[in-house]
Structure 1
Amino acid sequence: MTEKKEDPIIITITGPDGSEKDYVQDTVIPFAGKEFAVLVSIPEKAEEEEEPDIILARIDRDEDGEPVYVPPTDEEYDAVADIYDAM
């Protein structure tokens, strides 16, 4: 029996300058009763070989239960980064 592979989750992040960049959700790490997504940048052109950006985002839920990706606190970031590095 083959495993069914889930479709990748693509998140568009708007930077401080208003530019948008797409990220793919690599993994979700539970910590302190919350979930944190490790997001890896998607190159704009397939032939680009630049080092991907990796960011952490806390996954909150809006009133409809839909995921909302928000920056973690400094303490959350440090703890989740340590967990990710140990993986």
Structure 2
Amino acid sequence: MADKMIDEMDENIVVEFNDDNGNSLYYQQEMIIPVDGQDFALLVGLNVENDESFDEEENVIIAKIVKDENGEDEYVDPTDEEFEAVQKAYNELCDAEEAE
């Protein structure tokens, strides 16, 4: 993943990524999913309602949260194995909520 910026406004965390073309993409952190002692963020794309090419599933990403050299949260791509583990944990959370 590319550059990031975090804004904490009203407890909402917004993360900015820059794509390969230098375009800014904004995501809101919806939840933290802990897996094997590491935190992963479920990020949902913002400002996509008016985008005709918007596909809700394509605008949700999973990012691993790590600390940079300054102790700040940094969002990076998970490995394939981490992604699958987070996906499994998320599905289990959803199944547990539905069972309630």
| TM-score range normalised by the length of the shorter chain | 0.7 to 0.9
1:48, distance to aligned residue in structure 2 (A): 2.8
Give TM-score scaled by structure 1 length: 0.80
What percentage of aligned pairs have identical amino acids? Answer: 36
Gaps of at least 5 residues in structure 1 are 1-5
Point out 4+ residue stretches in structure 1 off by more than 3 angstroms. 49-52
Gaps of at least 5 residues in structure 2 are 1-9, 94-100
Structure with bigger helix share is 2
**Corresponding residue of 1:16:** 20
1:8-87 paired onto structure 2 within 5 Å: 8-44=12-48, 48=50, 50-52=54-56, 53-87=59-93
1:33, distance to aligned residue in structure 2 (A): 1.4
* Range 24-33 or range 77-86, more displaced: 77-86
After superposition, give the CA deviation of every residue in 1:44-72 in whole Å (9 maximum; x if it has no partner): 5xx63744310000000012210000000
Aligned length: 80
In 1: Cα distance, 2:85 partner to 2:20 partner: 24
In 2: Cα distance, 1:71 partner to 1:16 partner: 15
Cα RMSD, aligned residues only? 1.7
